[in-house]
Amino acid sequence: MSGHSKWATTKHKKAVIDAKRGKMFAKLIKNIEVAARTGGGDPAGNPTLFDAIQKAKKSSVPNDNINNAVKRGSGLEAGGADWQTIMYEGYGPNGVAILIECLTDNRNRAATEVRTALTRNGGTFADAGSVSYLFNRKGVVIVPSEGISEDDLMLAVLDAGAEEINDIGESFEIVFEPTDLPAVRKALQDANIEYDSAETSLIPTMNVEVDEDGARKVMKLVDALEDCDDVQEVYTNADISDDVLAAIDA
């Protein structure tokens, strides 16, 4: 689940150590392969590939896996799939809007997987355009908050195009226009500030607040969608408060 909440950070940290590690590795490798195919196999000249590799390394993907994905994507090694990006739209419990981003070599399989996960967990498919207007494409960088203040971070990235900085627990979330991603990343590097991930994301323009019961249902649905092999990212406009998260964790 990607989005504007501490839930996203909690899930990100759990994903690195939980039993789905192999599935997460596969998704990160897929991103690298596509980035290399689209923009070439040299990370220095392909910012999207650079960021995909950095995210994979932060998640402990072995270097051999990363290098092989770059070779497949750039055509230096056989075996690369014809990955296509497909965005499905839907609604979850409590009227929460959901966007499901797939990267697949089989559109029929992806659609079937997503439809099954939705219908079995209280969700429904939505017509194209009925949900996507509730989200804006933004650049998002996640920076660990240990050892750095919000003011220091703002000073480092403000001139690079940063629009807002959000405290999401143990990390800061920097939000900006997608075209400013290379500039924001360079500003952080120049200031010797480490970051966990740098990518484009879909940020909701309005949120739906859910109670504990609604949150459990939404999280169950998101987990089911993320379990689908063809699903890369799940975006929702669910607003799950810290109190509700604490109640669920307890």
Residue extents of the structural domains in the chain: 6-74, 84-133+207-249, 134-204
Enter the CATH code of domain 134-204: 3.30.70.980
Enter the CATH code of domain 84-133+207-249: 3.30.70.980
Decide if pLDDT at 16 tops 80.
Answer: no
Q: How far is CA 223 from CA 61, 122, 194, 214, in A?
A: 21, 13, 29, 14
Whose tokens are 């994507």? That residue is 73
pLDDT of residue 244: 84
Please tell us whether the domain made up of 6-74 is placed in CATH 3.30.390.10.
no
Alpha-carbon gap, residue 178 to 224, rounded angstroms: 29
- Full-model pTM: 0.84
Phi, psi dihedral angles at 101 (to 5 degrees): -95, 120
pLDDT of residue 95: 93
pLDDT digits (tens, 9 = 90+) for 59-100: 889 999 999 999 998 888 776 668 899 999 999 999 999 999
Burial 37-63 (b: 16+ CB within 10 A, else e): bebbbebeebbbbbbbbbbbebbebee
Domain pair 6-74 / 84-133+207-249, same fold: no
Whose tokens are 């355009």? That residue is 129
The H or E element spanning position 25 is helix 21-39
Alpha-carbon gap, residue 194 to 32, rounded angstroms: 20
The letter for the amino acid at 39 is G
Decide if pLDDT at 19 tops 60.
Answer: no
Decide if pLDDT at 190 tops 70.
Answer: yes
Q: Count the neighbouring beta carbons within 10 Å of the beta carbon of residue 15.
A: 15
pLDDT digits (tens, 9 = 90+) for 124-162: 999 999 999 999 999 999 999 888 999 999 999 999 999
